[in-house]
Structure formats: C-alpha cells, structure tokens
C-alpha cells in the first residue's frame, strides 16, 4: 500500500510541479535559477526520502524500479535524438572537435584529481575507486544549456556567436561523458568477470534487436495512441534488456536514439512524443535522485566543495585552452569556461543509474557528494555565466 | 488483401523477434538486484508489445483486439509458456488497478442521461429478465444435473443447492471493462450500444446486492436460523455513499477541466487510481482502528464520477476525448494480464461442467434478451443479436467466487474452479461475439 501512496504522491508532485516550475517569476537570480531548473525537487526528494521523513523508504524505492528504468531509457533516447547527422553537419567540424576536446579535457582532469583524492582519503578497493572516479568525472564532463537559456530569455545578449558556440558544446560534450560512463559496468565488483568483447557483442545484439523492432513497428503508419504504447513499451523493454545484460540502459537507449533519429522515417513523431513529457521526466528524476541523497557524514560539504572546485577549474581551463588553440574561439574572453558550468539532466541520470545499479555505501557517498556539489554549482554557475555573457554588452 | 497479408507477416515477424528476446531473457539467471529489476522491466515491456501485436494480428482476422490481448496473456502466462509467472502477474497488479479505475471512469462517461431516459424501458426490461432468467436457468441446471458430473457428484444436497445459488448469481455478472473496450475499439454508438452498456453497468451495481443477498440466504440455510440482514442494509448504505462520493469527485473533475484542463489524461488516470487505492486503504484502516467494516466501491465511485462529468457540466466531450487517448495502453495491459491470470488448470479439471454452464448461461441470456427486445418492439437485428453482447465475464465474477470461497470453504473450491473455467471460455468467446453483434446492427464505426 505504501508503494501505491508513494507512487501517487511522487507522480502528483511531478505533475503539479512542472506546471509551476520553469515559469518566469520575479525572483533574485540565484533563487530563480534554482526554481527554473527544478532543483527544488531534489530537496523535495531528500525531504520525503529515508534521510528525513522516510515516506519513501528503500523498499518502496526498489518496487518503483520500472518507473526509474522508464525515466532512464527516456532520457537516453532523448539525448540520442540530438545527434541527427544532417543537423550536426550544418556546423563546421572544428566546433565538433572543440566540443569533444573540451569534454575529454574535463574528463581526464577530473579523473586525475578524484583518483588522487580518493587514494588519499578513502580506504576503498581499486575497482570501487575506479568506478567512482569514472562516474564522477563523466558527470563532471557534461554541460547543459540551462544558464544560457535563462540569460537569453531574460535579457538581450550581445555576443550571439559565443552563444552559438556555447550551445553547441553544451549539446555535444555530454556524449564524451556518456561513453566514458559505460566503462563503470566493467569495473564495479560483481561485473569484473564480464569480458568486454563478449559484452560488446551482447550489447550490439540487444541494440540490433531493438532497432529491428522499431523498424518493424513503424513500417506501418501508427496512430498516436499506438505510438505512445510502442515507445513506452520499447523504452521499458530496452531498459530491462540492458539491466539483464548488466549494462547501462542509458547508453543503449542513447545508441538507439542516435540510430532512430538518423534512419527512421517516423523520427519527428517519436521525438515530439519524447519531448512532450521531458519536463515531468526530468523532475521525476530529480525527485528520485533526492531520495538517494544522504547526509551520513560531516565531510560531505567539504568533499562537495572540492568536487565543485575541481570541475570549475577543469571547465575554466578547457575554455581557456579553446580560446587559445582554436581560431574560431579566439575572439571569446579567456573565461569562456564560465559558460560551461551548468550540469543539466544527463549527469543526473548517470548518478541515478549508478546508485540503483550498484547500491552500496561507497556509491551512496559518491552520489551524495556529487548532488551537494550540484547544488553549489547551480548557485554559482548562473552569476558566472552572466558575467561572461554580459561582458562588453552591459 | 495485399495490405492484410503484409500486416499479418509484419506482426508474425515482430512476435518472432519478441519471442527470441524472451527466450534470451529467460535463459539468464538474474543474480543481482539490478538484473532482477531488469527482468521485471523486460516483462512489462514484453507484455505491452506482444499483446498489442497480437491484437493487431487478430484485428486483421476481423476479431476484436482485446481477444488478441487476452490470447497473448494466456500464451505468455503461467499455464502455457510460463514466461509470465504467477509472481510476476501479481507484481503487475498495480497496473491492473490503474486500468480498472480508468475503465470505470470511461464507463460512467459513456452514459448519457438523455439517451438513458430514452432507453430506460429497454434497459429496465433487460436487467429484470436477465437477472431472473439467467439465475433461474443456471440454478435449475446445476441443481438437477450436478449429479451427472464427476466433479460435483459426491456433494450433499445442501451443498449442491448452495453451489447452485452462488453459481446462479455469479452467472448474472458481466464484464463492463470488456464492453467498454469493445465499444471503444469499434467506435460504436447508437441505441443498441447504449442499451448494452446501460444493462451491463446496472447489472454490475445490482450484482453486489444480489450476491450479498445470496450469501445471507445460504448462511440461513447452513445455520438453520434467521439471517443477518444488517449486512444487506449496510451494503446499500455503502453503495449510496460510493455514488455520492463519486458525484463529488465528478464535480471536482469538471472544475479542474474548466479551470485548468491541461494534461487531462494523466490527471484522470491518477484520480481513478487514487480513488481505487484510497477506498481499499480506508476499508482496512476503519476495520483496524474503529472495528468498522466500510467497503467503498471504487468502481462505483469512478463510474459515478464519470457520469457526473459527462452529464452535469460542459466538460463531457473533453473528458471522453482525454480518456480515449490513454485507452489503448490501458486496455492492452489490463486484458493481457487478465489473460495471463485465466486459470487453464481449472478449465482442464472441469471443462465438461464449465461448458455446460456456459451453454446454459448463454441460453438464459438469449431468452431474456429476446423477450426484452420483443416486449420493447426492438428492430429485428437487435432482437436476434442482443444475446451475443452479454456473454463476456471477467474480474467481477472471479472476485465474487473468491469471496464466497472464503465464507463457505466446503463448496468454495468447486465454485471457484467452475467460475474460473467458465470465465476462461466466456472471456475468449464473448468479445468476438459482441463485436459481431455491433457490426450486424450497423453501430460499429459510427462514433
């Protein structure tokens, strides 16, 4: 019964919340940023989760697993749909190189720092250490367009070319993080016996099966109700198969999304369907992440501050390097990286999947530190992005 | 013809691919919690997709899609392939409740006061005649012939009479969910459709009263003393309270539609689901804390809410349109799970008796529907096809049988086995015949 009430409450909150969030209320920038990005749902999850009110306990959370899988699959597909080759080709290839380089730089930078920090401060086994390093650095490598969208919707921004560059990088660099994140499924205890080559064939087989099914289903014109049924059914099926194969549903769904957007006739209709519930899906994910947030240890804020600083320095350095090495980026200010601080939904999906896939103490600590850092980041990234965008223009 | 062949081929290939994936999933040993969760997700996705494709496949054979959903459920269920185990089916019951409340909202929303007023005589006659004739024929047949079947031959006279009474009452039960699903799929409307829907829903309400009456009578029978009629009075009170609560919720839904109106489908799904679950919880809560047995009927509440939205506000059209948008996934999941729950072991154990019951019930329904149509001077096609619309049975009949089993364990196992077997037949045959009836009276595709 508790599961039912929790499910009702969670869906009700997401349902009502997304009509209230993302609105342009006159609030101070920091508060507005929190409100508009839905971060309040993270706190709501924390409040109703095991840490405080315990309305949604661990057992209940486990029984809501199909809903979490649907969310992860949905986000993966949606992200994959951004990689339509025809649209990507409209931009010069240098931009693609810049985005990948920025993502890779931050990934390696973060990996190094986190590995050192964990080696000094945490007594954990090598596989666990590696997986935490991979997840946290992969999450740090991603960038979202939230801050840019916020600024450009509130006031005119003079540097239109810089906005285009920032948006492009924000859309692409998550792919680097996502692909790196997949490695965690070969390191974590319990999955170390999986042979990468064998696993590759299993994942390829699953993806081929899913793509074949999509092609067969969409070979005839579908009514909207049928399309809803098929997309929901396929997303849950894909997530289920990925989990059965001990792999990430996010990555397989992402791959499926990329293939669909490039090869499927009905891609527009599927994309519109995915986007139509993007906000509730995002808020539900924040809520579920909040449920996994812990404050067991006093050093969380310190570790989170460290994580934020590493990421900030990584993004700042990556931005600076771009403005020095890439001719297209030379006109931009040296603190170009200030526009790349927002996190967005994809890294949160990594954290959610990681915490559900490998539930143990070390994972819980890592996710909690990352979530605390996320809140710090959300508070500071807005003003920093504003500083970059307003330069010369105010 | 070419399109039809292509559809069949396509559906066949999809089912083959799904079957291969299912075999792969079944061959794995889910060791971690991550994999176990994956298996549950895979099952849910598989059920949705396989049932939908089966529905499409049978549609090309001019059969109703819900028959395809049910057959897919049977094939995937614990009695045939075993892909869906009993445990998995139980775990997916959450979706069952969601679907049932949604269907009840639809049922209420499909009833129009004006049309009901016009069809009142016909509905009234059908309800009375079907209740009396179906009950009498099944009661009489079981009483007289049970000695001829090995399954019931050794029962005492008292037990046979009790069994006959209960089977007679359960035989009156219909499946509003199946009726709504077929009407929705065929896009049917018209006097015949309205009468069938009206009769099915009214019987769904009075069956609860009749069943309680039957239980009280059998209690008197067994104990030899006067029965406790306070239960019956309490039941009437609960029905009334359920209808009033439903009306209030209906007004709330109308208010929401007029003031906000966005994401109505999601809102309605949640409302129906919340009503079902809160009613169930309230019953347990009142009993545990106040020793008060309060059984609000969630289906009645939802039907009443749907009826109020449709008839006492301006939101009826929007309400039905929103419900239609979610109808397909809801029906697919609900009927495939219903198929997986059909007890084929019961059918195997007592199929001669079950077939006998199905035939007697069908004959009783036929006589009652024909007589009602004749008195009402219905057109000839209505007169000859009405019986086909009332055969489907599902959850209500099984629920009633299980309730009786708890009260009278001596005969309960016979009752439940026979009801499960008869429902298996009725649920497979009923939808097909109902669709044929709607086509024959030219009301399919008129909405």
Whether residue B445 lies inside any domain: the answer is no
Higher pLDDT, B50 or B189: B50
Give yes or no: residues B254 and B342 share one domain: yes
Asked if A216's CB is within 8 angstroms of B17's CB, the reply is: yes
Asked if B14's CB is within 8 angstroms of A229's CB, the reply is: no
Whether residue B70 lies inside any domain: the answer is yes
Please report, for the domain that includes residue B190, its CATH number: 1.20.1530.20
Residue-level length of chain B: 447
d(CA A152, CA A339): 12
Give yes or no: residues B322 and B177 share one domain: yes
* Cβ proximity of B249 and B301 under 8 Å: yes
A2-390, CATH topology level: Na+/H+ antiporter like fold (1.20.1530)
3-state secondary structure of B392: coil
Q: Out of B21, B32, B266, name the one closest to residue A241 (CB).
A: B21
DSSP string, B6-17: HHHHHHHHHHHH
Confidence (pLDDT) at A389 = 77
Residue of A nearest to B28 (CA): A244
* Cβ proximity of B367 and B390 under 8 Å: no
Higher pLDDT, B386 or B177: B386
Q: Is B16 on the interface with A (CB under 8 A)?
A: no
Collect all residues of chain B within an 8 Å Cβ-Cβ radius of residue A69.
Answer: 37-38, 41
Tens digits of per-residue pLDDT, B67-79?
Answer: 888 888 888 888 8
Q: What is the mean pLDDT of residues B324-344?
A: 79
Q: Is the pLDDT of residue B234 over 60?
A: yes
Give yes or no: residues B104 and B49 share one domain: no
Low-confidence ranges of chain A (pLDDT < 50): 22, 24, 392-394
Q: Is A11 on the interface with B (CB under 8 A)?
A: yes
Give yes or no: residues B89 and B147 share one domain: no
d(CA B443, CA B190): 6
Confidence (pLDDT) at A185 = 85
Give yes or no: residues B331 and B225 share one domain: yes
d(CA B234, CA B213): 12
Higher pLDDT, B265 or A370: A370
Confidence (pLDDT) at B395 = 65
Q: What is the mean pLDDT of residues B124-139?
A: 91
Confidence (pLDDT) at A162 = 84
Which residues fall within 8 angstroms of residue B282, CB to CB, at 6 or more apart?
B294, B296
Confidence (pLDDT) at A392 = 47
Confidence (pTM): 0.81
Confidence (pLDDT) at A393 = 43
Asked if A15's CB is within 8 angstroms of B270's CB, the reply is: yes
Q: What is the mean pLDDT of residues B232-259?
A: 85
d(CA A32, CA A376): 14
B42 CA: distance to closest CA in chain A (Å): 4
Confidence (pLDDT) at A41 = 82
Domain definitions of chain A by residue range? 2-390
Confidence (pLDDT) at A153 = 59
Burial of residue B62 (number of CB atoms within 10 Å: 0-12, 13-18, 19+):
exposed
Q: Is the pLDDT of residue B221 over 80?
A: no
Selected residue of A6, A69, A243 to mutate for chain B interface (largest B Cβ count, 10 A)? A243
> How many Cβ pairs within 8 Å bridge chains A and B?
133
Give yes or no: residues B423 and B327 share one domain: yes
Lowest mean pLDDT, pick from A209-213, B179-183, B242-246, B411-415:
B411-415
CB interface of A with B, residues 92-121, below 8 Å: none
| Structural domain boundaries, residue B37 | 2-95
* Cβ proximity of B197 and B179 under 8 Å: yes
Give yes or no: residues B268 and B128 share one domain: yes
Q: What are the angstrom distances between the C-alpha of B418 and each of A129, B166, B413?
A: 61, 11, 8
Domain count of the fold of chain B: 2
CB interface of B with A, residues 406-435, below 8 Å: none
Q: Is B191 on the interface with A (CB under 8 A)?
A: no
Give yes or no: residues B109 and B82 share one domain: no
CB interface of A with B, residues 189-208, below 8 Å: 190
Give yes or no: residues B16 and B54 share one domain: yes
Give yes or no: residues B80 and B148 share one domain: no
Give yes or no: residues B22 and B160 share one domain: no
Confidence (pLDDT) at A131 = 92
Give yes or no: residues B322 and B411 share one domain: yes
Average pLDDT across chain B, whole number:
82
Tens digits of per-residue pLDDT, B294-320?
Answer: 777 787 888 889 889 988 888 888 888
Asked if B30's CB is within 8 angstroms of A240's CB, the reply is: no
d(CA B277, CA A4): 7
Asked if A246's CB is within 8 angstroms of B41's CB, the reply is: no
d(CA B110, CA B116): 10
**In the listed set B37, B64, B95, which residue is the last one of a domain according to the structure?**
B95
Confidence (pLDDT) at A318 = 94
Confidence (pLDDT) at B321 = 83
Q: What is the mean pLDDT of residues B149-177?
A: 79
CA nearest to A72, candidates A268, A279, A229, A252: A252
Asked if A11's CB is within 8 angstroms of B45's CB, the reply is: no
d(CA B426, CA B443): 23
């Amino acid at each position: 019964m508790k599961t039912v009430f929790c499910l009702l409450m969670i869906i009700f909150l997401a349902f009502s919340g997304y009509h209230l969030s993302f609105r342009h209320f006159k609030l101070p920038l920091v508060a507005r940023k929190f409100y508009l990005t839905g971060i309040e749902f993270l706190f709501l999850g924390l409040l109703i989760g095991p840490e405080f009110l315990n309305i949604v306990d661990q057992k209940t959370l486990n029984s809501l697993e199909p809903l979490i899988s649907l969310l992860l699959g949905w986000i993966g597909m949606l992200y994959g749909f951004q990689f339509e080759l025809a649209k990507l080709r409209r931009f010069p290839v240098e931009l693609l190189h810049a985005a990948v380089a920025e993502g890779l730089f931050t990934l390696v930078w973060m990996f190094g720092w986190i590995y050192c920090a964990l080696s000094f401060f945490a007594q954990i086994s090598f596989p666990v250490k590696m997986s935490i390093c991979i997840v946290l650095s992969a999450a740090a490598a991603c960038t979202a367009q939230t801050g840019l969208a916020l600024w450009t919707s509130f006031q005119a921004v003079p540097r239109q070319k810089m906005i285009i560059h920032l948006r492009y990088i924000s859309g692409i660099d998550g792919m680097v993080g996502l692909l790196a994140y997949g490695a965690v499924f070969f390191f974590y205890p319990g999955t170390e016996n999986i042979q990468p080559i064998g696993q590759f064939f299993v994942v390829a087989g699953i993806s081929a099966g899913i793509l074949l099914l999509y092609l067969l289903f969409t070979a005839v014109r579908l009514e909207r109700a049928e399309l809803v049924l098929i997309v929901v059914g396929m997303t849950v099926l894909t997530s289920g198969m990925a989990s059965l194969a001990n792999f990430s549903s996010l990555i397989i769904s992402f791959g499926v999304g990329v293939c669909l957007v490039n090869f499927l006739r009905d891609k527009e209709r599927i994309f519109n369907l995915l986007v139509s519930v993007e906000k509730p899906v995002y808020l539900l994910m924040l809520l579920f992440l909040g449920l996994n947030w812990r404050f067991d240890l006093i050093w969380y804020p310190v570790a989170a501050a460290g994580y934020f600083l590493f990421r900030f320095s990584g993004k700042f350095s990556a931005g600076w390097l771009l403005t020095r090495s890439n001719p297209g980026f030379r006109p931009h200010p040296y603190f170009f990286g200030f526009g790349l601080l927002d996190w967005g939904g994809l890294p949160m999906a990594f954290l959610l999947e990681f915490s559900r896939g490998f539930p143990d103490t070390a994972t819980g600590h890592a996710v909690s530190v990352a979530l605390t850092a996320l809140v710090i980041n959300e508070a500071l990234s807005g003003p920093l992005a504003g500083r970059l965008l307003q330069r010369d223009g105010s | 013809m070419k399109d039809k062949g292509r559809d069949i081929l396509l559906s066949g290939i999809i089912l083959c691919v799904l079957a291969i994936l299912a075999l792969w999933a079944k061959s794995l040993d889910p060791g971690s919690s991550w994999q176990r969760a994956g298996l549950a997700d895979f099952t849910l996705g598989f059920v949705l997709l396989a049932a939908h494709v089966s529905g499409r496949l049978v549609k090309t054979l001019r059969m109703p899609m819900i028959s395809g959903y049910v057959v897919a459920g049977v094939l995937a269920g614990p009695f045939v392939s075993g892909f869906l185990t009993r445990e998995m089916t139980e775990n997916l019951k959450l979706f069952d409740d969601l679907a049932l409340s949604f269907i009840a909202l639809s049922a209420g929303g499909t009833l129009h006061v004006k049309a009901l007023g016009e069809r009142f005589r016909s509905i009234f006659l059908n309800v009375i005649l079907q209740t009396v004739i179906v009950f009498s024929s099944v009661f009489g047949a079981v009483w007289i012939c049970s000695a001829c079947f090995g399954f019931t031959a050794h029962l005492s006279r008292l037990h046979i009479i009790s069994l006959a009474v209960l089977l007679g009452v359960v035989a009156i039960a219909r499946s509003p969910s199946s009726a709504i699903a077929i009407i929705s799929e065929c896009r049917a409307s018209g006097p015949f459709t309205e009468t069938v829907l009206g009769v099915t829903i009214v019987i769904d309400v009075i069956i609860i009263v009749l069943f309680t009456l039957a239980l009280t009578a059998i209690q008197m029978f067994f104990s030899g003393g006067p029965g406790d009629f306070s239960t019956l009075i309490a039941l009437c009170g609960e029905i009334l309270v359920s209808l009033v609560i439903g009306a209030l919720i209906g007004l709330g839904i109308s208010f929401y539609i007029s003031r906000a109106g966005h994401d109505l489908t999601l809102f309605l799904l949640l409302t129906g689901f919340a009503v079902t679950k809160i009613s169930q919880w309230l019953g347990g809560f009142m009993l545990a804390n106040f020793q008060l047995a309060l059984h609000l009927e969630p289906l009645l509440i939802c039907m009443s809410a749907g009826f109020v939205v449709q008839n006492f506000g301006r939101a009826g059209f929007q309400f039905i349109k929103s419900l239609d948008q979610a109808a397909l996934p809801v029906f697919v999941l609900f009927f495939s799970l219903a198929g997986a729950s059909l007890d084929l072991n019961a059918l195997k154990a007592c199929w001669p008796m079950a077939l006998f019951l199905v035939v007697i019930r069908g004959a009783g329904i036929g006589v009652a529907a024909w007589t009602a149509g004749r008195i009402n001077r219905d057109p000839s096609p209505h007169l000859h096809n009405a019986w086909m619309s009332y055969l489907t049975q599902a959850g209500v009949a099984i629920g009633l049988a299980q309730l009786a089993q708890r009260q009278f364990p001596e005969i309960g196992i016979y009752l439940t086995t026979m009801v499960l077997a008869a429902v298996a037949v009725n649920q497979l045959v009923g939808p097909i015949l109902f669709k044929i009836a709607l086509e024959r009276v030219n009301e399919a595709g008129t909405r």
